[in-house]
Structure 1
């Protein structure tokens, strides 16, 4: 591929390789994985990353399925499907793209660049799958499988815990509706430069802030805040139930005891 001044410098590609844990034998594969169709519309001599995205999507689905099947032998088919869907989705892929610093090295057209394309979750998610497809072509199944295991293991294991394998925003929403007939409200703000923003979130219920969170993306910060709020409410409810269970014994011990017709 002909070198262009408007493409990512070698240092940026090297940082991405370090982040994903794979050094390409043929770096042209990585460069193509970063070619958004908007860039290709302005440069007719290069191909977009869409075919690699298609390949990476298939590789990712199989790798996550295999890992979940091996790690959780007692999960039935329906729960395995939910677990896979909880990590193989655009939100998670966009988060991983941010964590691996993929956005800064994307090749975008001028219009997409000016409209903040480097931070668009859909573009980031598609590019992440394209990079995975490029790793598969460059290093084979084992290289791609190990990349997925390394980057997804914590999320897979975490999402396998808890009832229904829901994310904490969903769990908080369900708990709030069931116990309080209320809807959680989120407030999010970001700090830092455009290429490296850090997000902070709070979640409130009926005007009271119950959780704080932060992360590399808006969704990640909201999930962190939701988890804090869900844990707080869950612990408070459990403590209240323990207190209610103890009250009958306390009342009984406080009652007068009659012995031989005489109050004690």
Structure 2
């Protein structure tokens, strides 16, 4: 199944933002190997923070380190509410602060820093990142950074999941997950051996899963390796269970399952 990579550019200068978006679009297409890319843009860290808090998908972020817009500093402090050990008093208007406070590494987002200031090379290591580019961005270096980010994202989606369950942290192989059901803030992860209950958002977990999973309903993610039949408004699974397919996702789900079946 093709994977759609959401790639965002955070840059407060509109001309530079547009130029970088065009470069990303031109450089990433040859690297996708059948996948697709959806590009987004953010003028300030506040907009990025709102997007992340809403649980929207994000795979790769190209972030200008020095954000001069007034809202950027406010957003960096605002993001502290997402990580209790960070002080809201630190309002340094840099993308490094926003990346750290929004916990993007923990969300599986691959960060590529972009800057015209060499002195941020060391500070960039305060956060996990895929690459560091200096303006003006060279096409060859950008292609290298995007390839590295895509490779890291692919490896991350195949790694075992660490699921907090009560006082334990469970290690779960994504291949063993049959389907995941969301009930408000609770996730019920049904594996071949057991059901694991944890807290979180389905959208956050979705970004950590391999492309074998399809979002067939706002509250359900299904591992396509366990689908035995596509019924009228439902998917029938190998274990005998049925999972609903919403009307709005029916066509997308059917196409994904058929493409997956052809690829086996």
TM-score range, shorter chain: 0.3 to 0.5
TM-score between both structures, scaled by the size of structure 2: 0.33
Pick the structure with more strand per residue: 2
Compare relative contact order (CA 8 Å, sep 6+) and give the higher one, 1 or 2: 1
Please identify the structure whose Cα radius of gyration is greater. Answer: 1
Pick the structure with more helix per residue: 1
